[in-house]
Amino acid sequence: MDLALAEARSAFEEDEVPVGAAVVRDGMLLGRGHNRTRALSDPTAHAEILAITAACQTIGEARLDGAELFVTLEPCPMCAGAIVLAHIAKLHYGTPDPRAGACGSLIDIVREPRLNHQVEVYAGLAAEESRKLLEEFFTRKRAQNDDKL
């Protein structure tokens, strides 16, 4: 989770929503990423997607059987779908996302029994630090917007 938090801090420094992710299998880092939607002008450039893509490129496969994904914020529906499609075994996330979380908060895509793969989910890992990064980012954004008025 330390790698995911480091990625989230990088996103924060780049004025991106501070979410970071890392894919690990058998103790080896396969891929990591942080939100880059603004930098890449790409709404799909979420931390999880970038980390999964990097991991797949590392191993030269489209599936990450046996891998674990560590992410600072509960994944959204798009990222939850990618987690299922990549066949990630375990998801560890920091803070829940009651507005868009698709791993138990709003909906639960990763454990949907009608899909061909389900993921073990572990919530609350480094939740406080993950939450504080997000709060600080959005507090700063609101203050910047107030200054423009």
Half-sphere exposure of 91 (CA within 13 A, CB side): 36
Neighbouring-strand partners of residue 90: 68, 120
d(CA 105, CA 100): 8
d(CA 59, CA 39): 26
- For residue 29, the tally of other CB atoms under 10 A from its CB is 14
Catalytic position from the list 7, 13, 16, 48: 48
- Please confirm, yes or no, whether 13 is among the known catalytic residues: no
Residue type, 112: E
Which residues belong to the active site? 48
